[in-house]
Amino acid sequence: MAQGSEGEKNRTMKRILLIINCLLLAVGTAGGPLVMRLYFLRGGNRVWLSSFLETAGFPFMLLPLAVSYFRRRAAAVAAGTAKPSPVSMKPPLLAASVFIGVLTGLDDYLYAYGVARLPVSTSSLIIATQLGFTALFAFLLVRQKFTSYSVNAVVLLTVGAGVLALHSSGDRPPGESVKAYVMGFVMTVIAAALYGFVLPMVELVYKKTKQPITYSLVMEIQFVMCFSATLFCLIGMIINNDFKVIPREAKTFKHGEVNYYVVLVGSAIIWQAFFLGAIGVIFCASSLFSGILIAVLLPVTEVLAVIFYKEKFQAEKGVSLFLSLWGMVSYFYGEIKHEKKMKKKKSSDMEATEMPEMGVIEK
């Protein structure tokens, strides 16, 4: 009974963590592109700076990491065991996190390049194609099992994003050349493919590491990944002379110099919520679920972009939004059915194991 109670407690805690991380991911997915696009619309044009800001909020992770460490230390003192190390990552896990972090930095640049040249409603729907890449790489790297409902969701979400490619030039921003628009479109697709690879890579690291994966360790992985990605983008900023341009750009920003820096800081905080939420959802569920959730939230970003930035909402965007919502319903309906099936099977197995024990007692 004690083991069953402990298992139920762990499952409840994991559900709470999943909800928290889903909320963080929702804030980051919906808010990140909007704040980034605001920077470009109001006079900013530094792509490396924007990509840098996507992970530059990693120092905020120090607070929850410190709280987690002091809790583990207090528990160790109470139990009379050795005090834990502030850093629990082992070298192989550290190396893997740095590698994924560099890939994330490259992906940040590709994505920022696309957002600089495309309307948010368009770039968000293109990014939804990352779900197809996530599904493919999840199958290849972590042997993700598919149901007919999850396959249907992947197809619908991917087709929904692909519909935009048929009439993509209709929402080209004023003053944007065809070449720049096409380059933004291509870069965004590559960014979607690369992030579709990164999510299963994180899940693979969780599975292959030879140390217990706790949420505290997940935060450490996130910290190292974001630090590596930020360093990668920082090198790009230095080569591109961004630091010399930032003060001049702030003075010419349409919302004023103070608001320029508010937008930069806000962007860093919101994107940090996205990345923490993404790897947290992988820890609590799977990389495919994280990809599904990102794709599901992208239509929300699209609608907000139409409301706040008065972007065009053509027929193909309506079709794409409809297919995305259909895919979402399909996936979650399949998950609910699968969970009910697993509970039924578990109760049947428990009954089967209890029957022989009862027979022994009767004898």
CA distance 44 to 33: 14
CA distance 168 to 179: 13
Query: Residue 333: what are its φ and ψ, rounded to 5°?
Result: -65, -40
pLDDT confidence of 244, banded at 50, 70, 90? very high
Token pair for 214: 């706790």
Of residues 229 and 173, more confidence is placed in 229
Of residues 151 and 157, more confidence is placed in 151
pLDDT tens readout for residues 44-64: 999 999 999 999 999 988 988
Tell me what pLDDT residue 361 has: 46
Cα Rg of the chain (Å, integer) = 23
Question: What pTM value is reported for the model?
Answer: 0.82
- C-alpha separations of 218 from 11, 174, 223 in Å: 17, 43, 9
Q: Does pLDDT of 335 surpass 90? A: no
Worst-scoring range by mean pLDDT, 144-153, 163-172, 193-202, 275-284?
A: 163-172
Straight-line distance from the first to the last Cα atom of the chain, in angstroms, rounded to the nearest whole number:
25
Task: Tell me what percent of the residues of the chain surpass a pLDDT of 70.
Answer: 90
Q: Does pLDDT of 358 surpass 60? A: no
pLDDT, averaged across the chain: 84
Q: Biggest alpha carbon distance in the chain?
A: 89
pLDDT confidence of 28, banded at 50, 70, 90? very high
Tell me what pLDDT residue 193 has: 92
Token pair for 120: 């948010």
* Residues 6+ positions from 289 with CB-CB distance below 8 Å: 281, 282
Packing angle of the helix pair 91-117, 178-208 (nearest 10 deg): 160
**Average confidence (pLDDT) over 320-330:** 77
CB half-sphere exposure, 180, CA atoms < 13 A: 12
- Are 37 and 276 in contact by the 8 Å Cβ rule? The answer is no
Tell me what pLDDT residue 262 has: 95
Q: Does pLDDT of 194 surpass 90? A: yes
* Residues 6+ positions from 64 with CB-CB distance below 8 Å: 219
- C-alpha separations of 284 from 103, 272, 289, 295, 352 in Å: 23, 18, 10, 18, 30
pLDDT confidence of 363, banded at 50, 70, 90? very low
Tell me what pLDDT residue 165 has: 61
Tell me what pLDDT residue 166 has: 64
CA distance 86 to 84: 6
**Average confidence (pLDDT) over 258-271:** 95
pLDDT tens readout for residues 91-124: 999 999 999 999 999 999 999 999 999 888 778 7
pLDDT tens readout for residues 167-179: 655 667 777 788 8
The total of other beta-carbon atoms located within 10 Å of residue 98's CB is 15
Tell me what pLDDT residue 39 has: 94
Amino acid at 281: V
Question: Is 88 buried (19+), middle (13-18) or exposed (0-12) by CB count in 10 A?
Answer: middle
Of 249, 203, 219, 268, nearest to 51 (Cα)?
A: 268
Q: Does pLDDT of 245 surpass 80? A: yes
Q: What is the dihedral of CA 56, 57, 60, 64, to 10 degrees?
A: -100
pLDDT confidence of 352, banded at 50, 70, 90? low
In the chain, count of helices (H) and strands (E)? 13, 0
